[in-house]
A and B are shown apart, each in its own frame.
Chain A
Amino acid sequence: MEANTRSTGRLPAAFLTPGSSSFMDFLSEHQPELLPGKRQLPPVQGVVEAPHGTTIVAVTFRGGVILAGDRRATMGNMIAQRDIEKVFPADEYSAVGIAGTAGLAVEMVKLFQLELEHFEKVEGAQLSLEGKANRLSTMIRSNLGMAMQGLAVVPLFAGFDVDRAKGRIFSYDVTGGRSEEQNFAAVGSGSIFARGAMKKLYHADLSESEATTLVVQALYDAADDDSATGGPDVARRIYPIVTVITDEGFRRLTDVESAEIARSVLEKRLEQPDGPRAALL
């Protein structure tokens, strides 16, 4: 069928046919070739080399949830990009961070944002947070073919659940398996180290400013032990992306705010390279 996004002719019949509120359903009927999951895959030998995003961390706090990511993308042992953005707003009350093949992940996020926005505009109401998380699961599942060729995308989804009035975190595996995480979570190559740091620093009564410091500490520890994760780059003024989602919606910390947290963490690490210590017992 003719796409008709270029000409200014009449809207094609498919546009005016009553159907579902999902943009992905509309695309799969009208222009399936635009859907990432419907792509014909060429036969490949070995693993395709493409830039990879690395560490994303999330933590809940009293008023909501924080999602943050480092800025490094790597291709093999090379640093492909020093200032990549891996944390994006999904809509007003949720955000998604991506680890894995950067190109595919960014495309997936773009489609995911559109899916939520399209539903909201057509229905006049937002999807529930569970609904959003499930939608993302479907999208990852449709990427399984490429994941088998080494082009996996593993997102971390966080949002403020307006109905339950609290922040929630969802993690995924490459098959689209979805699980809700309690308190904190991390994905990507540096996630093991970040999770260790968060485990020691997390407590149930964190304030927003404590929680933003906690994620920067965790990212520092990930960068400390994982070569694919980038630490705060003081010389180039590249600092982690930290986003806060509360009942007031999504907010990304400004560069100045995130620089300030990163610098105070760095300063302490000059005295104490392993960072803050938890009590032994």
Chain B
Amino acid sequence: MSTPFYVSPQQAMADRAEYARKGIARGRSLVVLQYADGIVFVGENPSRALHKFSEIYDRIGFAAAGKYNEYENLRIGGVRYADLRGYTYDRDDVTARGLANVYAQTLGTIFSSTAEKPYEVELVVAEVGETVEGDQIYRLPHDGSIVDEHGSVAVGGNAELISNYLDQRHQDGMSLSEALQLAVQALSREANGTQREIPAERLEVAVLDRTRPQQRKFKRIVGPQLSRLLEAGGPATEAESAEDAGDAGDGE
């Protein structure tokens, strides 16, 4: 019988973290931004049916990068958690903070248990408030930590580059169309400083819109509405992209 090699806990955790990060990096990145009337989710997704974004509850949305079956599993767990909690208590008692905590505990337990392989996912849980101040965005990396974000957040393989870009340009009180265009520009940036074109039909866009009269604020934006929002304010976009080209040059 062979004696197992000693692996220090630091090394074991570092290996697991690297494994998870590599898995996440294989998928495309996505971004979540606050705008004047709510929160917008934007990502590149060639599939019409397999979503990266979805509704968890009235004011709460979910976004995920990484391995589909793993985040889908977490998403359904979250829907069950929210629906059960709302049914047991009241719809107002379902909060993004509560949900983010449950996800953090779940991811954390899986990450630290040596019996299970770590999940290769990075999640965003967002809740739209009555006002901009009430908006909440939580980012949940693979290891079960939890980050309270404001303004904009990017997850996935290219996240660092994209979130730097967003941090510099995102402003409070942007219109939906401005926020969406900024998100698409951010997503089209490649690690080597070049830009690619993302056609509208490869975009998945959803919003949590606080102005919706319905109790459920989550809405997918597709087809003509999406094209309209992407085209709105043409000249401003051109000026912006000229500026981008300059930035990209500086960056290299």
**A contact set with B: CB distance below 8 Å:** 3, 5, 8-11, 15-16, 18, 23, 26-27, 30-31, 34, 92, 110-111, 114, 117-118, 121-122, 124
Q: Separation in Å of the B115 CB from the closest CB of chain A?
A: 14
B88 in contact with A10 (CB, 8 Å): no
* CB of A214, distance to nearest CB on chain B (Å): 26
Q: A11-B102, A27-B87 are in contact. List 9 more A-B contacts (CB 8 A).
A: A3-B84, A9-B105, A10-B108, A11-B78, A15-B81, A16-B76, A18-B76, A92-B214, A121-B56
| Contact residue among A10, A18, A114, A122 (Cβ-Cβ distance under 8 Å from B87) | A114
Chain A at the B interface: mostly helix, strand, loop or mixed? Answer: helix
Residue of chain A at shortest CB distance from B93: A5
Taking CB atoms and an 8 Å cut-off, the chain B residues in 82-132 that contact chain A are: 83-89, 98, 101-103, 105-106, 108-109
Q: Contacts A5-B88, A18-B73; is A118 near B105 (CB within 8 Å)?
A: no
Instruction: Looking at the assembled complex, report how far the CB atom of A3 sits from the nearest CB atom of chain B, in whole angstroms.
Output: 8
Are B105 and A31 within 8 A (Cβ)? Answer: no
Contact B84 A27 (CB under 8 A): yes
Query: B189 within 8 Å of A by Cβ?
Result: no
A8 touches B98 (CB 8 A): yes
B73 touches A16 (CB 8 A): yes
- Whether the pair B80, A15 counts as a contact (CB closer than 8 A) is yes
Q: In the complex, A140 Cα to B85 Cα: how many Å?
A: 23
B101 CB to closest chain A CB, in angstroms? 4
Given A8-B98, A18-B73, also A124-B51 (CB < 8 A): yes
> In the complex, A244 Cα to B251 Cα: how many Å?
57
Specify the chain B residue showing the minimal Cβ separation from A110. B87
Query: Does B77 lie at the interface of the complex (its beta carbon under 8 Å from any beta carbon of A)?
Result: yes
Cβ of B77: which chain A residues have Cβ within 8 Å of it?
11, 15-16
- Beta-carbon contact of B51 and A31 below 8 Å: no
Known A-B contacts A31-B84, A114-B87; A16 and B105 likewise in contact (beta carbons under 8 Å): no
Pick from A10, A23, A124: contact of B105, CB under 8 Å: A10
Question: Chain A's nearest CB lies how many Å from the CB of B1?
Answer: 33
**Residues of chain A with a CB closer than 8 A to B88's CB:** 3, 5, 34
**Which residue numbers of B lie inside 8 Å of A, CB to CB?**
49, 51, 54-56, 73-74, 76-81, 83-89, 98, 101-103, 105-106, 108-109, 214, 216
A110 to B87 Cα, complex, angstroms: 8
Known: A5-B88, A8-B101, A34-B88. A118 touches B49 (CB 8 A): no
Note all chain A residues with C-beta closer than 8 A to B106.
10-11, 16
Known: A10-B106, A34-B87. A121 touches B55 (CB 8 A): yes
Give the residues in chain B near A34, CB-CB below 8 Å: 87-88
B86: nearest chain-A partner, CB-CB: A114
A10 close to B109 (CB less than 8 A): yes
A5 CA to B80 CA in the complex, in Å?
Answer: 10
Bound together, the chains give a CA A117 to CA B109 distance in angstroms of 30
* Given A9-B105, A124-B54, A111 and B81 contact (CB-CB distance below 8 Å): no
**With contact pairs A8-B98, A10-B105, A10-B106 given, residues A121 and B54 touching in the complex (Cβ less than 8 Å):** yes
Q: Please, which residues of chain A bring their CB within 8 A of the CB of B109?
A: 10
Contacts of B80 in A (CB 8 A): 15, 23, 26, 118
Contact sample, A vs B, 14 pairs, CB 8 Å cutoff = A3-B88, A5-B81, A5-B84, A5-B85, A8-B105, A15-B77, A23-B83, A27-B84, A31-B84, A118-B80, A118-B83, A121-B56, A121-B79, A124-B54
Residues of B within 8 A of A11 (CB): 77-78, 81, 102-103, 105-106
Chain A residues whose C-beta falls within 8 Å of the C-beta of B55 in the assembled complex: 121
Chain A minimum-CB-distance residue to B94: A5
Q: A34-B88, A121-B55 are in contact. Are A8 and B102 (CB under 8 A)?
A: yes
Chain A, residue nearest B55 (CB): A121
| Smallest CB separation, A125 vs chain B (Å) | 9
The closest CB in chain B to the CB of A23 belongs to B83
- Closest residue of chain B to A8 (Cβ to Cβ) is B101
Residue of A nearest to B220 (CB): A124
Q: Output the least CB separation between B49 and chain A (Å).
A: 7
Q: Which residues from B are CB-within-8-Å of A16?
A: 73-74, 76-77, 106
Measured in the bound complex, the distance between the Cα atoms of B83 and A10 in whole Å is 16
Q: Which residues of A contact B56 (CB under 8 A)?
A: 121
Task: Across the interface, name the chain A residue whose C-beta is closest to B58.
Answer: A117
- CA A27 to CA B86, docked complex, whole Å: 13
What is the minimal beta-carbon distance from B137 to any residue of chain A, in angstroms?
19
Decide if A124 touches B49 in the complex (CB within 8 Å): yes
Instruction: Give B109's nearest chain A residue, CB to CB.
Output: A10
